[in-house]
């Protein structure tokens, strides 16, 4: 795209040269009477006054009306584009395409149905034309025959329906019987299970009682052995005591001895001693037996308590094992759920990152498009301002031409410039035209600098 300021400068130069040539042509073709009107100095000053110039190389305030530029055009443009607008437009386009396709398919279906209708009507007309030979009686007979056939089929179907209903009732009855039997079996099974549990409890109680009796039997056997040993020891002690007894007898030779009486006394003493020792041994054995019974009772109660505790501990162990198995299964299930959740989270995170990247790319593209649009808008505004300035320049040139046609023509100054490096160029300018160009382009360049635009190069 060409620079609008350069285009303006080239166009303005061409317009200035054309205007100069036109003014020089008019000056060459004017009459002597017009040339003689006034001095050249007066005509030059009048031309300066008409263009708003004063002095040589200086300028005063222009008499032509000043132009103003709307300040709103210089404000930055805020192009707030809704990101959902394009998506909505695309969705609307897709919906319209879908509806158009559906409408086209419906039209095709309607056309096909119309064609089928036409084919059927033609076929019907053809069949009607072929069947004109048959009379109404033949048609009625055919109709009656068809109706009788249909009635027979209906009767057969009704008979078959009745048979099927009977079979259905039989099947339902048998199903009810089987259901009642099944319920009876379930009740019997539940009763047997209950009796089994009761018998199991009785068996446990009887086994505990048996163990108690066995413990008592072992205790009694031990007690009998203990008593036997005690009795044997006491008997041995008594025998030893009896052997060690020494009897000292005094014999009175003077008197007669009654040996029977002495033997009876000794026997009575020995019997009293044996009875006393027997009572002591029996009391000792009874005391030891009572102590053994009490110890056996305590040991039996402790044994029963320990067995009950063992049974309770076994039950608790089974419960804990089942709880451990269930907890392990729950742990495995939770680990699988955690793993699946982690995989889903990773996939969701990857999708979100991909969407974020796509959104960032779309945002970058939209920013680039926005920058291009703003740049194009600024270029168009620059072109518009340049065109406005050029239009104003042409207007001033036209006004200058009109004023020059009304005012006397100044003298034409021709200059020939030569250069050793380049070819010779002839420039023929009017002094008024040159000064008017300088006087117009200086304020124009200042106004363009105030508008932050590139001014045209000064001639």
For residue 413, the surrounding DSSP H or E stretch is strand 413-417
Residue 439 is assigned to a structural domain of this protein: yes
For residue 4, the surrounding DSSP H or E stretch is helix 4-28
Handedness of CA 337, 340, 346, 347 (dihedral sign): negative
Residue 12 is assigned to a structural domain of this protein: yes
Q: How far apart are CA 12 and CA 410, in angstroms?
A: 22
Residue 81 is assigned to a structural domain of this protein: yes
> What is the residue-wise DSSP string for 357-378?
HHHHHHHHHHHHHHHHHHHHHH
Size (the chain), residues = 459
The set of residues, in sequence order, having a beta carbon less than 8 Å from that of 273 and lying 6+ positions away, is none
Which residues in the chain come in under a pLDDT of 70?
1-83, 131-138, 242-259, 407-459
Residue 436 is assigned to a structural domain of this protein: yes
Residue 446 is assigned to a structural domain of this protein: yes
Q: Are 52 and 59 in contact (CB under 8 A)?
A: yes
Give helix 431-450 / helix 40-51 axis angle, nearest 10°.
20
User: 420: domain range?
Assistant: 7-91+383-450
Of 378, 396, 395, whose CA–CA distance to 454 is shortest?
A: 378
Q: Is 412 exposed, middle or buried, given 0-12, 13-18 or 19+ CB atoms closer than 10 A?
A: middle
Residue 164 is assigned to a structural domain of this protein: no
The set of residues, in sequence order, having a beta carbon less than 8 Å from that of 34 and lying 6+ positions away, is 408, 409
For residue 426, the surrounding DSSP H or E stretch is strand 425-429
Tell me, what's the pLDDT at 132? 58
Residue 203 is assigned to a structural domain of this protein: no
Domains of the chain: total: 1
Q: Are 438 and 58 in contact (CB under 8 A)?
A: no
Exposed e or buried b for every residue in 357-377, given b needs 16+ CB within 10 A? eeeeeeeeeeeeeeeeeeeee
The set of residues, in sequence order, having a beta carbon less than 8 Å from that of 56 and lying 6+ positions away, is 435
Q: In the numeric block, which tokens belong to residue 107?
A: 């039209």
Q: How far apart are CA 210 and CA 208, in angstroms?
A: 5
> What is the residue-wise DSSP string for 247-289?
------SSS---HHHHHHHHHHHHHHHHHHHHHHHHHHHHHHH
Look up tokens 């002495």; give the residue: 262
Residue 409 is assigned to a structural domain of this protein: yes
Q: What is the Cα gyration radius of the chain?
A: 71
How wide is the angle at C-alpha 82 spanned by C-alphas 77 and 86, nearest 5°? 120
DSSP state for residue 99 in the 8-state scheme: H
Tell me, what's the pLDDT at 38? 41
């Amino acid at each position: 795209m060409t620079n609008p300021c350069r285009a303006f400068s080239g166009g303005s130069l061409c317009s200035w040269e054309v205007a100069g040539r036109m003014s020089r042509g008019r000056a060459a073709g004017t009459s002597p009477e017009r040339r003689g009107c006034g001095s050249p100095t007066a005509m030059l000053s009048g031309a300066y006054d008409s263009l708003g110039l004063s002095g040589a190389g200086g300028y005063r305030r222009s008499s032509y009306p000043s132009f103003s530029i709307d300040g709103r055009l210089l404000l930055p443009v805020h192009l707030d584009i809704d990101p959902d607008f394009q998506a909505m437009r695309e969705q609307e386009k897709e919906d319209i395409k879908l509806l158009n396709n559906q409408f086209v398919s419906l039209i095709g279906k309607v056309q096909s149905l119309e064609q089928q209708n036409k084919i059927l009507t033609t076929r019907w007309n053809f069949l009607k034309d072929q069947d004109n030979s048959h009379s109404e009686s033949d048609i009625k007979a055919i109709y009656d025959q068809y109706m009788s056939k249909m009635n027979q089929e209906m009767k057969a179907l009704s008979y078959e329906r009745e048979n099927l209903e009977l079979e259905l009732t039989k099947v339902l009855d048998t199903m009810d019987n089987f259901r009642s039997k099944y319920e009876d079996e379930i009740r019997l099974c539940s009763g047997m299970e209950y009796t089994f549990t009761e018998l199991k409890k009785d068996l446990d109680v009887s086994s505990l009682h048996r163990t108690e009796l066995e413990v008592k039997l072992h205790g009694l056997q031990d007690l009998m052995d203990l008593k036997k040993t005690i009795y044997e020891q006491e008997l041995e002690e008594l025998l030893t005591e009896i052997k060690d007894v020494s009897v000292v007898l005094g014999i009175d030779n003077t008197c007669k001895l009654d040996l029977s009486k002495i033997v009876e006394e000794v026997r009575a003493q020995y019997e009293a001693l044996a009875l006393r020792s027997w009572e002591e041994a029996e009391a000792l054995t009874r005391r030891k037996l009572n102590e053994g019974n009490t110890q056996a009772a305590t040991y039996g109660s402790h044994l029963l308590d320990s067995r009950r505790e063992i049974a309770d501990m076994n039950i608790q162990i089974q419960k804990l094992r089942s709880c451990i198995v269930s907890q392990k299964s729950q742990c495995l299930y939770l680990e699988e759920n955690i793993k699946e959740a982690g995989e889903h989270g990773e996939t969701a995170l990857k999708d979100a990152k991909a969407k974020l990247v796509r959104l960032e790319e779309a945002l970058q593209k939209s920013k680039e498009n926005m920058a291009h649009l703003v740049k194009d808008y600024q270029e168009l505004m620059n072109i518009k301002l340049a065109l406005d300035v050029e239009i104003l320049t042409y207007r001033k040139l036209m006004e200058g031409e009109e004023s020059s046609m009304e005012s006397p023509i100044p003298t034409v100054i021709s200059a020939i410039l030569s250069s050793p490096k380049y070819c010779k160029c002839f420039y023929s300018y009017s002094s008024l035209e040159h000064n008017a160009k300088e006087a117009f382009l200086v304020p124009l360049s200042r106004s363009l600098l105030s508008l932050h635009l590139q001014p045209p190069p000064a001639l």
